[in-house]
Structure 1
């Protein structure tokens, strides 16, 4: 055990006793004799900000992570000045600040300790770079678990792990490898079934040790900047995640086609190859909405150009693909080729928009085009210029989406894999080095891209994809987990990364299906598709070095399996769209780890494989070769097997059969799952009737379906349809009540309801208290009826 004395000897400094206190509305300032100031800000009753200054000086208060739309306000706020400590009290928590050493302890209203400082805030002067290495250590209580932290390729429970946030191009990364492509310094702690969260808003390289080095201590620190963190009290994990997501922001609804199936490769060229890929999808009746063009569509890898040999008439190609239901998404990287005849380079040089080294020369790095300069996306003028570069691509040629890659930024042939640390950035008027700006560089690039796409796509919605991200990047774009590998281990990694990202406020995420590096066999590809159709972003992408990776690349048996699951994805689009609606309105994750679903069940605290898709589908991928099934854990509730309608009671682990053409998939009892007909692309068919699968439950359950025009912004003006259903099942009857909101009129007029697990034979039906004939509702056997979409109450009686 390291003692305080030993730590002090290493150069760490600590606050001493408080000599001054003042309050300014929702802010409290505690100043120590040796010049440390703790600024404590109450954002909400359960959300508190802690900022620490040394030598009496705070840095400028600026962050790219915090949303302009964050909800603020509290119900109660008071402070008590006691002999050993100050106590700040809200309606949810009490914050104890020790007068002797500035240590903090947070308890709930029943005085249960939720979080407490171990050494608390301390710092060490950074003699190599200036400034401080800022540190915080907290007590890790017995049985405490930790979750979140973005795209880490490790167990969902981080207990015992150490991680580093420094966005890095990590080609073919392995399990537990650090760091990766994203910096999301946010974790959820779970102690005695009470959840809390910590967001360390510091864009320098940050580190977290979750009781790895010292089993009773969790700590986090940064190479520079301030100790600036937000504390979120639950007590439910959903409360924590929703509060964090509200703080860092939410996206707008994407166009519905962005939730379809997408196909990509490095690279599809020339034009005829792209047309052949599109033709095969339609010929084989495999749904697909988007085809991606990697860097080879460009002229010598120069961004915003086209190789006229490979793509002589890109507008005609894009128009032709559009007529067959395909959107085109193009790659744009940050590196601008150094070429005096290249118009983008000329503009950036004339305007002084490229990053410079500390002693003045332009920063130069090698990427795909060769030597490149790099725009400073932390300057608002540069972002505005970059946004306008998309005019021709979007408004004139008709590209539907943009994919920002290599935006860590990734630099070739240097050990750091990125820009020199002395590169200078504007940081929106707060000049700094790359040490501070690195983790937000890709975020600000994709922000500029989003603003350009939105401007030139209007009135349609933009679609943007990024590889690098910092907290808050979810406001602008979808993301994927980078250059993975075609292995069974990476199938496991993809599963935990999606769950972890969703718990970290970033739900619109997917992986390179089948693996980017190397080549999957047909079995692995099929199992990956089965998992990925239950991820919010669904795209095949591969390096192409070892062969093709289209749905038809592995023989007829695999093609048929892949087609079936992509069709299932398209059937579930209204369910998925409703998930996205709940995400943008409430910050509710689109995927839930089992611990998120039921934190009171200790069996869920270390589960990695099973997850909840939306709120009512339980998914458990098969992650080993030659498997005919697997063991899986069923959380609380009762669950219908999607394939057989067999009922399974929750709270148990059991074997589930799953041959190659099946994935363990279960539906929560009482759920009403909306479905569209299979389409080859979004918008191919007008929805004539909405299918709803109804799963009987003795008791009540709530479901909903959200719909709108699938494009545009009319939904923000009330032109949407939100239907909430309350299902009530009894021994010999069931009642479905419908509550409607919004003024969008759906194209269909009727629901076709298919009942699962109905314990009785239908005898009579009432719609809004009036009996209707069984022939009017088109009763089919005992499990299907058709009713008007406008009913308020549907009452079904059994014999």
Structure 2
């Protein structure tokens, strides 16, 4: 008979009273009588790491998520030994550790509680696999909201939801389906206008319950590993996301062409079909920078091979496409076909690079080529070998970028859709099972791909795309949200996923425009394009088995609408490129949910549709069929309609007209939005003039334009152009000051400023304190003028 004591032993265990404390510089160690150790590390005044051990033993301290360039250092640090608790104080927060049970609560310096443990850390031994299931529960306060967590297909506010992080091939997933393709165990909490963040850095399957089971409890737990999490204090959401992004890293600037429009399908072949697609883009004058080759370009789906019947001379084809302005992107999957005559397979066999099961045999799984084996990308030797495999494809064939798919890893015809849990991995010298390595497998594959593509693309910048990801994968590649569906619901899902991914530190993201599975009608495709041109990564991709999904596939009316919006994307490339620069410089999301933009406004906490693209554009997609308009919430500030210049003062919900050819698009007052002329591809035109749309504001607003050679690494040596504009509007004056940095000399010598909303007629214009003749600046009534790009101050006087 099992006693109650034995049942208790099999259940959750909790820390008891602290019996020992010590400090080592920025680390504090609290040890309990029953062998729990809390290692608390102060990374910055507002960034603290909490790491728990049981039985007095920590696991080796290793993480794939953390950037090598993380900022460390604090301004103030002290500890008080009080009767009920220890209190650690930085210049931003106080951390209280209860001596009786190791529970933690964190306050600001005024004593306001930011977050507090409910049960706190607890654990349960995993009898099936060994080790512990580790758990943390915290109090959910009334009115608290939660955001982030990567590509979840649910409302931006996760209050009341439970989610699971286990990267999964989720073909045709639905709203609220769990889990999906990415594991990003980071959330932003918002409580009484105070924002904080939690990053649970644990690569096992993790779970988050945001007041779902109990309305006053938020908890997170994992199937193994350590309770190891980071706390970030705001109080602004931007500060939280910046701190998390600094911890897990940012990518390099992409080549500008990677921000253009991309066209893909499963699959474009043979060569004649690829060239036909390319020529149609140019014939119809629809801008496009990249065409993708899915698995059918390979010989029998063998990676790093070419089907000679479909593509008899791929090098020549790639060169001809490039002459017409197209970059070629190829798919590479992780599954390597079992074939002794296949050189990639034989190399991996000879070097012991494939994953093995617990008792020694190689792990095998069925994917597109049939039975495959899978390289262990957690082994640095395997990553180096894999990177070297790209030499012929990139350096000799001239392929411009690589797309890693199926890298969850996806396995067919098995219930789990993936590798067996007993598969062994090196984990960079920390051997483990697939239970621990699964969530980072795709990340380490794309890391190896990135290193190879970067090496063989040099001196150009690499472009790499992944489906599976873990926190930190943004350092290596762009991503997309997997196999979605051509439905209006998925248009809504794509919108919230982009906002959520950007808030989760991963801004270079997009969706399969129009839906991967099934076939959109023309209206849905047009509405999706209208949304997706405001996503950092912009690609049409479809399964191809339901019909064509090119911009011209839905009749002339839709083609014209699609062309108009892709052209707008190309006009806004300098704005988008500048936004990307700010992302890698400051960790600012390229897309901002309304709650991120203004967390003080309660109306923003549950908005899903509206978002900011960069700092100055407000977008609200139409997500229902047959719509001639929609209701839209305008956050604080004043907003100009991009289409009509109508000005709307924020803090209100309004009906806005949006027939099939219009997406509601607004510009923040005071913004200076840079524009290029429409090009059919990046680099087609030698740009002679930078257009800047200037939106009048009575007051002050700052804008930025970042430019460089659009590819290569000279920008890291100071050869960039960074222009900061300060606009100050008065009732009868407008002053624009320019502050310049960097050594790059742009191809253009002048700006064309187009004014919106000027409340006066232009009378006199002074450039750097000297009055200029209206003819010299081509003053066009009250609408536009041309000035040298090198001015310091432009002063416009009204009559």
Which category of TM-score, normalised to the shorter sequence, fits these structures?
Answer: over 0.9
Flag the 1:564–1:6 CA change in 2: closer, same or farther, 3 A. Answer: farther
Shift of 1:587: 0.5
**Alpha-carbon distance between aligned partners in 2 of 1:7 and 1:655, rounded to the nearest angstrom:** 60
**Alpha-carbon distance between aligned partners in 1 of 2:249 and 2:759, rounded to the nearest angstrom:** 45
2:434 maps to 434
User: How does 1:11-30 map onto structure 2 within 5 Å?
Assistant: 11-30=11-30
Shift of 1:6: 14
1:125 maps to 125
User: How does 1:490-505 map onto structure 2 within 5 Å?
Assistant: 490-505=490-505
**Alpha-carbon distance between aligned partners in 2 of 1:774 and 1:104, rounded to the nearest angstrom:** 67
**Alpha-carbon distance between aligned partners in 2 of 1:210 and 1:719, rounded to the nearest angstrom:** 47
1:488 maps to 488
**Alpha-carbon distance between aligned partners in 1 of 2:244 and 2:67, rounded to the nearest angstrom:** 10
Aligned residues: 796
**Alpha-carbon distance between aligned partners in 1 of 2:10 and 2:709, rounded to the nearest angstrom:** 62
Q: TM-score w.r.t. structure 2 length?
A: 0.99
Unaligned runs of 5+ in 1: none
Q: Which SS does the other structure have where 1:605 is aligned?
A: helix
**Alpha-carbon distance between aligned partners in 1 of 2:89 and 2:761, rounded to the nearest angstrom:** 58
1:512 maps to 512
**Alpha-carbon distance between aligned partners in 1 of 2:201 and 2:174, rounded to the nearest angstrom:** 27
**Alpha-carbon distance between aligned partners in 2 of 1:672 and 1:567, rounded to the nearest angstrom:** 19
2:41 maps to 41
Alignment pair present for 1:82 and 2:85: no
- Is residue 612–residue 619 contact of structure 2 (8 Å, CA) maintained in 1? yes
**Alpha-carbon distance between aligned partners in 1 of 2:321 and 2:36, rounded to the nearest angstrom:** 62
**Alpha-carbon distance between aligned partners in 1 of 2:359 and 2:787, rounded to the nearest angstrom:** 74
CA offsets 1:317-376 (integer angstroms, 9 cap, x no match)? 000000000000000000000000000001000000000000000000000000000000
Alignment pair present for 1:586 and 2:613: no
1:189 maps to 189
**Alpha-carbon distance between aligned partners in 2 of 1:33 and 1:782, rounded to the nearest angstrom:** 78
CA offsets 1:280-329 (integer angstroms, 9 cap, x no match)? 00000000000000000000000000000000000000000000000000
Shift of 1:781: 1.8
2:98 maps to 98
Shift of 1:612: 0.2
2:329 maps to 329
**Alpha-carbon distance between aligned partners in 2 of 1:775 and 1:686, rounded to the nearest angstrom:** 25
Q: Which SS does the other structure have where 2:655 is aligned?
A: strand
**Alpha-carbon distance between aligned partners in 2 of 1:767 and 1:250, rounded to the nearest angstrom:** 39
- Is residue 51–residue 228 contact of structure 2 (8 Å, CA) maintained in 1? yes
Alignment pair present for 1:208 and 2:211: no
User: How does 1:447-462 map onto structure 2 within 5 Å?
Assistant: 447-462=447-462
User: How does 1:40-79 map onto structure 2 within 5 Å?
Assistant: 40-79=40-79
- Is residue 151–residue 181 contact of structure 2 (8 Å, CA) maintained in 1? yes
**Alpha-carbon distance between aligned partners in 2 of 1:506 and 1:709, rounded to the nearest angstrom:** 24
**Alpha-carbon distance between aligned partners in 2 of 1:9 and 1:442, rounded to the nearest angstrom:** 37
Shift of 1:10: 6.5
1:662 maps to 662
**Alpha-carbon distance between aligned partners in 1 of 2:333 and 2:587, rounded to the nearest angstrom:** 30
**Alpha-carbon distance between aligned partners in 2 of 1:215 and 1:137, rounded to the nearest angstrom:** 12
Alignment pair present for 1:625 and 2:625: yes
Shift of 1:782: 1.0
Shift of 1:9: 7.6
**Alpha-carbon distance between aligned partners in 1 of 2:247 and 2:333, rounded to the nearest angstrom:** 29
**Alpha-carbon distance between aligned partners in 2 of 1:672 and 1:249, rounded to the nearest angstrom:** 29
**Alpha-carbon distance between aligned partners in 2 of 1:675 and 1:787, rounded to the nearest angstrom:** 15
In the TM superposition, structure 1's runs of 4+ consecutive aligned residues that sit over 6 Å from their partners are none
- Is residue 354–residue 375 contact of structure 2 (8 Å, CA) maintained in 1? yes
1:305 maps to 305
CA offsets 1:107-139 (integer angstroms, 9 cap, x no match)? 001100000000000000000000000000000
Unaligned runs of 5+ in 2: none
Alignment pair present for 1:233 and 2:233: yes
Shift of 1:8: 5.5
Q: Which SS does the other structure have where 2:734 is aligned?
A: strand
Q: Which SS does the other structure have where 1:600 is aligned?
A: coil
Q: TM-score w.r.t. structure 1 length?
A: 0.99
**Alpha-carbon distance between aligned partners in 1 of 2:115 and 2:156, rounded to the nearest angstrom:** 21
CA offsets 1:139-166 (integer angstroms, 9 cap, x no match)? 0000000000000000000000000000
- Is residue 10–residue 125 contact of structure 2 (8 Å, CA) maintained in 1? no
